[in-house]
A and B are shown apart, each in its own frame.
Chain A
Amino acid sequence: MSLNSQTNFFEFLSYRADEIIRLLFEHIQITGFAVLLAILIGVPIGIFITRKEKCANIIIGIANIFQTLPSLALFGLIIPFLGIGITPSIFVLFLYALLPIIKNTYIGINSVDPSIIEAGKGMGMKSSQILRMVELPLALPMIMGGIRISTVINIGTATIASLIGAGGLGDLIFKGISMNDSYLTLAGAIPTSLLAIGADTLLGMIENALVPKGIAKVQRDG
C-alpha cells in the first residue's frame, strides 16, 4: 500500500479541497432529492394504508422487495429504463428510502392509543382533524425515525451510484480503490460519514422542534 510520503492527510485534503467540496454538494443533491421524494410520497402512502388495512401487506411487501435487492444490481437494472447518471440514481435511492418511511408511518399511526382517537371523536373532530392534530403528532417520533434511517442509508448507498456516472463522493472512493490510494478513499469515505452524522443530527433537531411540547412532556414523564 503505497502512500505519498511527502504529504500528510491534511495537506492532501487541502490540495483536493475544491474537488471534495464539489462532490460533496453533488452527493447532497442526489440523496437530498431522493429522500425528499420518499417523504413526499412515502408518508401519504403510509397514512393511506392505515385506512385500508387490506392494502397494507401488499404495499409494505413491495417496498420490502426493493429494499432486499442489492443496490448495485438495482443501479444496473434501471439503466435500460432511465439511462445513466443522476436521474436513475435518484430513482433507485428513492425506492430504497421508501420502506423505512412507509413502514414507520404505518406503525406509528397504528400505535396511537385507540382511546385517544375515541376521545377526539367524542370531541366532535372530523377524521382529517384527528389525523392532523392527534395521530400525526403522536406518530411523529416513529415517522422521523424512519426518515432518519432512510437518510443515513441513502447517503451511504449513493456512493455506489458513481459506477453509473452519478458523481458524488463515491467517485473519490472508487478512484482510491483503483489507485490503491487510501488517502483518496478516505477523502471520499470520511465526508460521506460526516454527512450522514450531520444529516441525522439535523433531523433529530427538526424532530425536537416539531413534537408539540405537551406530547413531549408526556413522553418524557410517562
Chain B
Amino acid sequence: MINQKFKIIYTVMVILCLGIILSGCGKKNTIRIGHKNFTEQRILGQMFALLIEEHTNYKTDVKEFGSTSLVFEALKNNQIDISGEYTGTAYAAILNQNELKEPQAIYDYVKKEYAEQFQISWLEPIGFNNTYTFSVRKEIAEQYNLKTFSDLAEAAPNLRLGVTMEFLEREDGLPGVKKVYGGFEFKEEKALDPGLRYTAIAENEVDVIDAFSTDGKIVEYNLTILEDDKQFFPPYFVAPLIHQESAKNYPEIVEVLLKLKNQISDEEMQELNYKVDEKRIPEAKVAEEFLKAKGLIK
C-alpha cells in the first residue's frame, strides 16, 4: 500500500517536471525582448513588443535585466532576440573606446564592431540622445556656484554623490570623469537603483546624481543640469539591436523595428518617461498611446 503511494507520487512528480519543461518549450515563434532596469528602457521594450505583435504573427516575451552587461550577454548568446542600446554605452562601456566624439562616427564604429565581433546588428537610431549628466538641486547649484562639470570637480568634497552602480564602474562613468577633469572626490559615494536616485536627491540624502538627460523626473524635481565643458560624455543615441540569427529566423521583425527610425525626439522621450514616473501610467499603456498617435499601430 505504501509502496503504491510512493510510486504514484514519484510518477506524478516526474510528469509535473515534464509538464513544466514542455510548457517552457512551446515558445518557438516567440520573440524575446530584453531591456535594462529603468523606465525608458521598459517603455522601449514595450514599444518593440507592441510593434511586433501588431505587424507580424509572432508573440513576444519581454524580460527585464539588472544591468547593461546582463542584457548584452543575453543578446550576444542569442538568449534574447532584441534589445535597445545607446551608441555611447556600446562605444565606451562595451567596446572600451574613447577616441571618437562625433555621433555618426560612433554609430558607424559600433555598428561595424558589433556585427563583426558579436553577430549583432544595429538598426536605425530612434532619434533621441539620452546622455549621462550631473544634476543637482537648484539650491546646491546656487550655493556652490555650479554651472559646469569643472565647477563640480572642485566643489565635490562638500557634496554627496548618488549614482547607478554601473556609473561607478564604467569608463564612461565616474572613473573616466575623474581622469579627464581631475577632482571629483566626493564626500560620499552611494550606488543606487536608477529610479531611487531621484528619491534620494529630493529627500536630501544625496546632492549630485548622474541623471539621464531624458529622465522625466529632472523637470519634476526641478534639478539643474551641469554643462559638460570638456565634452567628456559621448553621444548616446538609442537604436534597436537584433542578433543576426534572429534576423535570419524572423526576417519580418527587422522591417517592423525600422518603423521607429527617428520617431522619438529628446522632448518626446522625456514626456513619455514623465508619464510613467510621475503620472504612474503603466509603460505598456504609454507605449501604446504613443505608437497610436504616431500612426505606427492602430
Contacts and interface: CB of A to CB of B under 8 A. Distances in A.
> A and B bound?
yes
Interface in B4-21: 5-6, 9-10, 13-14, 16-17, 20-21
Contacts of A86: 24
B87 to A, nearest CB: 23
Contact of A179 (B21, B77, B277): B277
A55 interface: no
Q: A37, A137, A180 — which one has the most chain B CB atoms within 10 A of its CB?
A: A180
Grouping DSSP codes into helix (H, G, I), strand (E, B) and loop, the B interface class, with mixed when no group exceeds half, is helix
A29 B74 contact: no
Given A164-B70, A178-B193, A32 B2 contact: no
Given A29-B20, A86-B24, A163-B65, A39 B73 contact: no
Interface in B37-90: 37-39, 42, 63-66, 70, 73-74, 77, 79-80
A133 B3 contact: yes
Contacts of B70: 79, 84, 163-165
Given A4-B280, A85-B74, A36 B13 contact: yes
Contacts of B3: 132-133
A66 interface: no
B97 to A, nearest CB: 24
A205 interface: no
Contact of A40 (B13, B20, B194, B278): B13
Interface in A20-76: 29, 32-33, 36-37, 39-40
B199 interface: yes
Contacts of B16: 32, 36
A32 B20 contact: yes
A83 B34 CA distance: 14
A200 interface: no
Given A36-B16, A83-B74, A177-B195, A165 B63 contact: yes
**Which interface class (under 10, 10 to 19, 20 to 34, 35 or more) fits B?**
35 or more
Given A33-B17, A133-B3, A165 B23 contact: no
24 contacts: A4-B279, A4-B280, A15-B282, A29-B23, A37-B17, A40-B10, A40-B14, A79-B73, A84-B70, A85-B63, A85-B74, A133-B2, A162-B64, A163-B70, A164-B65, A165-B79, A174-B66, A174-B193, A175-B64, A177-B195, A178-B39, A179-B39, A180-B198, A210-B5
Interface of A: 1-2, 4, 15-16, 29, 32-33, 36-37, 39-40, 79, 83-86, 132-133, 136-137, 162-165, 167, 171, 174-175, 177-181, 210, 212
